[in-house]
Structures are given as C-alpha cells and as structure tokens.
Amino acid sequence: MYAESFEYHRAETVDHAIELLESNRDAKVLAGGHGLIPLMKKRELTPDTVVDIGGLDALRGIERTDGAVRIGALSTHTAVGGSPLLREAAPVYPRTVSCITGGKQVHNFATIGGNIARAHPGYDYEGTVLATGSQIHLEGPGGGQTVAASEFFRGALRTSLEETQLITSVVVPTCEGHRDGGYAKRKEPGSGNAIVGVATDIEFESEQAAHIERARVGVNGLQESAVRLTGVEDVLTGSAVTERTVQAATATAGESVQASAVLDNKKASAAYRRNLLGPQVRKSVLQATPLDGEA
C-alpha cells in the first residue's frame, strides 16, 4: 500500500523545523523513517505535511558535556552502539543497541530520537533511558526544555512531546566511579520487539567492581511505559557482588510491579510477561557485573 499524498519540507535548521511544525498543524517529523514511513504506507498515519529533519547535523553526535554525555537525537543505533564514550560512561546504552532487531540496514538509519518519540512499549531504549536517569531535551516555539524520562513517557505511544516540539538530544548523567550496565530481553517472534526488556545501570565503589554503590533497573515491554524495579535496586545497592546478591535481587523482581498494569494482549499474556521478568532481570544484572563470565 502507498501513503496518502502529502507536502514535503526539508528543514534547514532546528528553528526552521519548528517553524514548519508550527505553521502546518497536521505535520509529522521524519528522522530515520523506520517508524513513520511504515505507518504512512499502511495509512495508519495520514499527515498533510512531512517535515524532514534528516539533514540537521546539529542533532547528530555523541559528546561529553559538563557532568553528562549528550546523544544527539539523530544519532543512529550504529553510532550509539559503537560509541567508545558511551561504552565507558554508560555501557548499558551500547548493550541495549546490541539487542535491537533489524540488522545493519535498520541500525544505520534508525535514530535514538525517533525511537523514544514513538514510545512503543516494546522498543528497547525506554528502559535504558529510565535506568540511567537520562533526560530528554526538547526544542519548541517557547525555547528549550529538559524533561526527565519519568515525565516524558506517558503511556503506550504517548509522550509529553508537543506537536510543535522536536527532541534534540538525550542527556545521560555521568559518574566519577566505575560504571557498568546490562540489557536483556525476550523478543516477540515476529517484530523482534521486547516482550520484556530489562536495563541495569550500576555504579561500583571501585574499578574492581566488588561492591555496588548504586543500582537502577528499568523494564520496558511489561507495561505501557517503562518502570523502575525499585525492589531489585534496593537489594543491589550497598551489596557485595555475589551470586547470592543476584539471586536475592532476582527474587524481588515482581515486587515493584502493579499486577493490573501488566500488558495482556495477543503478543503475550500478563502471566507470561511476569514469568519472564525474573530471568531477564538476572541476565541483565549479570551483564553489569564481573559475575557475567561465571554465569
């Protein structure tokens, strides 16, 4: 099927893109195209106007800033997964990319900004953004705005992003100590999206990674939006890195989850998702610790 006819505009700057969105009420943003184009071809979306931001180099690049790493919204999965800076400063991001389905063709074009703007429960970045305490930077007619992940994601396919705003970057806070991370998921057989995907971000007291100073764990696919597993975090934080610690953390995986909020659909039942949670937590936590080689 082909898309309905539409007007096409190629933005020359971020300000130009915002002007185009503001002057065309039924406009959609085209970044990598892997979310928008299939929906338009199936006529699930029929915008009058498409604003192409793919040529905005200002939205590319991964760089260190004061106390954070800035990931430009047009950074592709390949760029995020291959970033030496992210491997050092926030390893859970490259590990998340390694689980995104689609191969090189998808990874070379799909972008982190487009992925999180879609806010699909089965997409992989959402849990990682939440677990790392990352923030989403937006630009719109009223200027810039930085939003916490917990405020940005508002349910399945819903965010705080307004029609006239753009995601310009993801801001990942850094830490002074040693940091590691893991991401594990059970894929849907057809789409490769996460039925349950668990992101773990751990700061250790030293490079020996023998004792956990802080842990944050986010899960996507389980509910309409990613949620923190605070019970798992409480067990890990302040604990020695041992198999007993991992077992105790895994055992609490479901304690922070509201049972009535777990997705129950044709992709997977709520009971199946809950049963997957513990094993995926274990895999994700192990990736983030020296125990990974022993598992």
pLDDT in the model for residue 34: 79
- pLDDT on residue 197: 98
pTM of the model: 0.95
Digits of tens for pLDDT over the chain (295 positions)? 788 999 999 999 999 999 999 999 899 999 988 789 899 999 989 999 999 999 999 999 999 999 999 999 999 999 999 999 999 999 999 999 999 998 898 999 999 999 999 999 999 999 999 999 999 999 999 999 999 999 999 999 999 999 999 999 999 999 999 999 999 999 999 999 999 999 999 999 999 999 999 999 999 999 999 999 999 999 999 999 999 999 999 999 999 899 999 999 999 999 999 999 999 999 999 999 999 866 4
CATH number reported for the structural domain that contains residue 105 in this entry:
3.30.465.10
Q: Which domain holds residue 30?
A: 7-52
Q: Are 83 and 124 within one domain?
A: yes
As to burial, measured by CB atoms within 10 angstroms (0-12 exposed, 13-18 middle, 19+ buried), residue 293 is exposed
Q: In total, how many domains does the chain have?
A: 3
Dist. CA 30–CA 281, nearest whole Å: 34
* pLDDT value of residue 1: 73
| 42 and 103 both lie in a single domain | no
Q: Do residues 81 and 141 both lie within one domain?
A: yes
Looking at residue 25, its pLDDT comes to 84
- Compute CA 234 distance to the chain's CA centroid, rounded to the nearest angstrom: 22
CATH number, domain containing residue 258: 3.30.390.50
Residue 2 inside a domain? The answer is: no
- Tell the burial category of 192 from Cβ atoms under 10 Å away from its Cβ (0-12, 13-18, 19+): middle
For residue 294, what pLDDT is reported?
65
Looking at the DSSP bridge assignments, the partners of residue 138 are 145, 167
Report d(CA 140, CA 164) in Å as an integer: 6
Residue 99 is assigned to a structural domain of this protein = yes
Q: Are residues 194 and 137 in the same domain?
A: no
> Residue 1: inside a domain, yes or no?
no
Assign residue 42 the CATH number of its domain.
3.30.43.10
